[in-house]
Each structure stands twice: as structure tokens, then as C-alpha cells.
Amino acid sequence: MTIALIDSQTALYGVIGDPVGHSKSPVMMNRAFAETGVNGAYMAFHIAPARLGDFILGVRAMGVRGVNVTIPHKQEVIPFLDAIDASAEAIGAVNTIVNREGHLTGYNTDGIGYVRSLKEEAVPTLAGKTILLLGAGGAARGIVHALVREQPARIVISNRTPDKARALAAAYEDQAELLPISQSELSRWCGEADVIINTTSIGMYPLVDALPMDPDWLRPGTVVSDLIYNPLKTALLKEAEAKGCISHFGLGMFIYQGAYAFEYWTGKPAPAAAMRESVLAALGQA
């Protein structure tokens, strides 16, 4: 990997998590800086929960320009910031911090990053579409927040714990048609949906054979999207392709949440193709 020359003008950026050693953000973001000529350097910082406040003091003291935030800090970081934008507030989690001359603002780019990737890679317009969401956790909330702006016909939510599907639907019912459903209605809605999105962890490494739904319910031509990117092609996506569905990979969400963060920090368009290439190379898939 080529590292741009670090000099006395280089701005520092980074990702915090616990653990963070597996993160592909440094590879992706340093590639984005190199590609666009931004004089920045991006590091991974392993921050234990008890040191989160100290880290933010460090950001202020050192003038760290931008930070990505991952598990377990996405909610806990909020009280340490000066402001959060409306989406981070509605979602209740921050994944990107922008430092503007000492004023720290938190954003959430996960949901909008996912929707941008879905539109660029699989369904150019979501208006009028029936979208079936599997799961109602934190990731699903960010996605619903971004999806309601796309004028879908309806968003159908299925979850193991039905109360959470109902609560998520209720939170956005004034912005779109949201329909929490029971497990017994899932087969019918799989047939009706234009887009099915798995936001659960079912199928994630190491339990890679697990499926969040019965693939026999899939209809050819449906877009089937999985947020999981380890493995890159989940069991659900393999089954979907075998049934004639269009698969959409979870890696895109990771790339575009980073693309938005890059754009918030630098004001320049993110080099998404190069970012993807660098992550695939780091995953050994290029």
C-alpha cells in the first residue's frame, strides 16, 4: 500500500472501537485520501469503554479532524459531543464525528450509506416499491430512517420479537406506510416484496449456513439484500441467486457509510470505486 507523505500539515482521522483490529476503515479511508489528494492520515484506535471520555478530550486537544465510531461506542459517545444532527438523534447512534474548529458534531451515515449503495448497485429508484425488512434492531432503525425519504409504497417489518417491529413501525408511521407483520405472514410478503433486506445477524460468520427466512418463499426478480459482509456472499444471497433474484451485497453499506463520512469531512466527492477496490483487496477477494 502506498502511504501519502505525512508532513506538518497532515490532518489526523481515525476509527474507534473495541475491538477494532479487524476494521477495514483505515485501508479504505487512506486510499480515499490518496486518491483525492487530501493530506490526511487515518488510524484505528482501540478504545475501551472506560476511556471514551479521555479519547474525546484527546480529539479536542489534538485537533483530530474526523472520527468514525463503531461498536460499542455508537450510543455512548453522544453525551461527549457538542451537537448531533437530526438523523443521529432519531436513530440514537453516531458513527461519524466531524470536528469543525473544536466543535464536535455527530452524524449517522449507516442508513443513508446503505440506501445509496442499494440505489447505485441494485434498484435505481425505490419510489412505489414494497420493501420487506427482516429484523428491527439498531441497523434496521437507521435503514428505515433513510428509506422513508425514498417514497416507497410500504415498508413491511418482520422480527423475531414482534414488539420491536411494532415500535419501529410506530416511530415512523407519520412518514410512510409501515407495516409490522407476524412470522406467519412472512411467506406472503416475501412474494409481494420488490426488495427484501436482511438486517439481522443471521448468516454472519461463523454460522454461515443460517438463513433468516425460507428461500422457497422467494420470487424471481426480487432484489434480495443482506447487510452482512462477512461472508461477502451469505447463504441467503446464494439461495436468492439460485432462485433468480437479484442479489445486493452488504459490503456496499460499509463503503458508502464511509463515503458519506469522507464527504462530510472533506467536502469532496468520495472515490467509491477505489474505496471498494481497497477493501476487497484487504479481504483477499480482489
Binding site for ligand ATR (CB under 6 A): 135-140, 159-161, 164, 199-202
Of residues 201 and 230, the one with the C-beta less far from ligand ATR: 201
Of residues 99 and 158, the one with the C-beta less far from ligand ATR: 158
Contact between 223 and 242 under an 8 Å Cβ cutoff? The reply is no
Closest contact distance (angstroms) between CB of 139 and ligand ATR is 3
Sign of CA dihedral 238, 138, 161, 150: negative
What is the DSSP secondary-structure string of 195-251? EEEE-SSTT-TT-TT--SS-GGG--TT-EEEES--SSSS-HHHHHHHHTTPEEE-TH
Contact between 221 and 129 under an 8 Å Cβ cutoff? The reply is no
Angle, in degrees to the nearest 10, between helices 251-266 and 110-121: 120
First vs last Cα of the chain: how many Å apart? Answer: 14
Of residues 53 and 92, the one with the C-beta less far from ligand ATR: 92
Which of these is catalytic: 24, 74, 129, 233?
74
What is the DSSP secondary-structure string of 50-91? GGHHHHHHHHHHHT--EEEE-TT-TTTTGGGSSEE-HHHHHH
The whole-angstrom distance between residue 26's C-alpha and the CA centroid of its chain comes to: 16
Of residues 59 and 140, the one with the C-beta less far from ligand ATR: 140
Of residues 202 and 245, the one with the C-beta less far from ligand ATR: 202
Reply yes or no on whether 74 is catalytic: yes
Closest contact distance (angstroms) between CB of 210 and ligand ATR is 7
Give the H or E element holding residue 157: strand 154-158
Task: Tell me which residue of 70, 114, 111, 74 sits closest to 94, measured CA to CA.
Answer: 74
Residues sharing a CB contact under 8 Å with residue 11, sequence separation 6 or more, in sequence order: 38, 39, 40, 41, 63, 65
Closest contact distance (angstroms) between CB of 128 and ligand ATR is 26
Closest contact distance (angstroms) between CB of 163 and ligand ATR is 8
Closest contact distance (angstroms) between CB of 227 and ligand ATR is 8
Q: Give the residue at shortest CB distance from ligand ATR.
A: 137
Of residues 1 and 71, the one with the C-beta less far from ligand ATR: 71
Closest contact distance (angstroms) between CB of 105 and ligand ATR is 22
Catalytic residues: 74
